[in-house]
């Protein structure tokens, strides 16, 4: 099932250099946490909601020195949840504390956790063994400018995948990569390893301004042999548009 979401990237919550490092380096823990607002939230007066949202923002900003935090507004487009956090830090405990601090805030008292995904960024496992032409293609520069849409897809592999030797998995991932090459400039992808940290094996995060290209990418990946080992793909799949943190918080404060 597709869950439509509005995504917000918070550039002010972490120092630019630290944020860039957290979003690109291996060995970084990421948590995706989705929450549902209770019915009492909409019954609060506008001033009380605005104060609660402001306090929640302050709670998140307290972690700006050691985490990169993205917020997501789900309300109005999903019957599963209203708000999602995407948090990156060097320690998973930091992500946990950020969520606990949010839940302890006036806004957090109206939030119920719905989904929590955890993953770790790593160096590419298979790319070093790819032919030079594929390695060169993988260095293609994405189209300039911010992307309009964000998509999150968790994946779980079957047992047979992990029983394959590395050469067999590399061959399948080479085919997987070749299918994705036409979309490298229009679809940005980030992979998180979740085995042992979550019920999934991977969390995949995408940004694009062309959902048509993204759909074509997914359809292409469903035709490669590696896809036969996907025991679970999505469920949930999170899809949304990227907006500013102020727009997201204003929507919450307005009770929208």
Contacts of 216 (CB under 8 A, 6+ apart): 183
What b-and-e string marks burial along 136-160, b requiring 16 or more CB atoms within 10 Å of the CB? ebeeeeeeeeebebbbbbbbbbeee
* Dist. CA 230–CA 161, nearest whole Å: 9
Place of tokens 């998140």: 60
What DSSP element (H or E) covers 119? strand 111-120
* Dist. CA 21–CA 106, nearest whole Å: 31
**207 near 242, Cβ under 8 Å?**
yes
Query: Catalytic: which of 109, 189, 231, 232?
Result: 189
What DSSP element (H or E) covers 52? helix 46-61
Q: Give the relative orientation of helices 245-253 and 46-61 as an angle to the nearest 10 degrees.
A: 150
Residue 1 DSSP label: -
* Dist. CA 87–CA 71, nearest whole Å: 9
**13 near 252, Cβ under 8 Å?**
no
Dump the DSSP string for 20-39: HHHHHSSS-EEEEEEEEE-G
Q: Is 75 a catalytic residue?
A: no
Catalytic residue numbers, as ranges: 189
């Amino acid at each position: 099932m597709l869950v439509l979401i509005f995504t917000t990237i918070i550039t002010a919550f972490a120092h630019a250099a630290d944020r860039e490092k957290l979003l690109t380096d291996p060995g970084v823990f990421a948590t995706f946490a989705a929450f549902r607002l209770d019915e009492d939230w909409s019954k609060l007066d506008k001033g009380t909601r605005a104060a609660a949202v402001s306090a929640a923002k302050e709670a998140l900003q307290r972690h700006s020195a050691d985490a990169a935090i993205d917020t997501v507004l789900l309300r109005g487009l999903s019957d599963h949840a209203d708000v999602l956090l995407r948090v990156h830090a060097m320690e998973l405990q930091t992500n946990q504390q950020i969520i606990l601090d949010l839940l302890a805030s006036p806004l957090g008292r109206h939030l119920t956790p719905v989904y929590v995904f955890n993953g770790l960024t790593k160096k590419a496992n298979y790319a070093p063994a790819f032919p030079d032409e594929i390695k060169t293609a993988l260095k293609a520069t994405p189209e300039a400018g911010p992307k309009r849409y964000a998509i999150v897809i968790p994946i779980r592999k079957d047992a047979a995948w992990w029983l394959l030797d590395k050469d067999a998995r590399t061959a399948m991932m080479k085919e997987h990569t070749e299918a994705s090459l036409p979309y490298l400039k229009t679809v940005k992808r980030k992979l998180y390893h979740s085995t042992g940290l979550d019920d999934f094996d991977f969390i995949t995060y995408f940004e694009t301004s062309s959902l048509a290209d993204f759909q074509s990418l997914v359809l292409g990946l469903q035709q490669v042999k590696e896809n036969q080992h996907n025991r679970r793909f999505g469920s949930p799949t999170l899809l949304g548009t990227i907006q500013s943190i102020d727009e997201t918080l204003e929507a919450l404060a307005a009770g929208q």
